[in-house]
Amino acid sequence: MRKVLFIDYDDTLHDTNGKFTAEFHGIYGLSSDKILESYLHVHLNIVHPNHPEMHDDFFFHQKLLCDYLAVPYVEEEARSIARKFEEVHQGRWLNPSFFPDTFPFLDIVHKESVLCLTTGDYAEEKAESLEKAAGKKYFRYAFDHTHLGIKGEDQYFINALMSTNTLAHNAVVIGDSLEQDISTGKKAGITTIWLNRRQLAREHSSPTPDFEANDLFEVLRILRLLKK
């Protein structure tokens, strides 16, 4: 039976962090990593559970971001930063920056496995952008919060299994986030591969992946081992 691969998009197939680094370094005197980390906290832990109708309102996010960072809120500045966030988000599929190993990896695994893009938002746009760049179709499914619920919540990959009629032992989660990909994948009983492109040190309290890889070529080698 072919394995079902649940593959993340941002910072797994697409260099989203690189786009944030280029646009947000130095805002409020903070690093781009801190801005991205704070934005994701606001988006996932405040907007999603409490204001789901504001999911795509970047100006609303920016107001909450100022509160979270305890920085002065200046409307003109906030609107400018909100526009930058919107441009970066749309750039993930309108002007994408895929990693060099993305297409070689997908070219191989899509012939051997059922591929599912499992992302937080805009799954169809991301899948279409990637497949347009490649000139071929890779994904059987493209899932986001509208299909599976909020990524990072326990039910996300349980819903992914149900939506693909897949048993956990026949699936693999591949992603860069220990919290959104690895932790929730493991809770669903799925084998997990943490793609640690930046070779970050895993904190003791962080979830432990079944496997760790530095790039998608290493992920491919792990998938080969899982077949044996």
pTM of the model: 0.88
**pLDDT value of residue 11:** 94
Q: Who's near 31: CB < 8 A, 6+ residues apart?
A: 25
- Confidence label for 187 from pLDDT (cuts 50, 70 and 90): very high
- Confidence label for 34 from pLDDT (cuts 50, 70 and 90): confident
Return mean pLDDT, the chain: 91
Does residue 138 or residue 121 have the better pLDDT?
Answer: 138
- Which residue has tokens 């938002």? 121
**pLDDT value of residue 1:** 65
Report the half-sphere exposure of 194 (CA within 13 A, side-chain side).
21
Most confident of the ranges 26-35, 91-100, 143-152, 171-180? 171-180
User: Taking each helix axis from N to C terminus, what angle separates 32-41 and 16-24, rounded to the nearest 10 degrees?
Assistant: 110
18-27, 67-76, 116-125, range with the lowest pLDDT? 18-27
Among 76, 90, 83, smallest CA distance to 61 is for 83
Alpha helices in the chain (DSSP H): 16-24, 32-41, 48-50, 58-69, 75-94, 102-112, 123-134, 145-148, 155-164, 184-187, 216-227
- Confidence label for 17 from pLDDT (cuts 50, 70 and 90): confident
Q: What is the pLDDT of residues 207-216, one digit of tens each?
A: 899 999 999 9
Q: What are residue 192's DSSP bridge partners?
A: 173
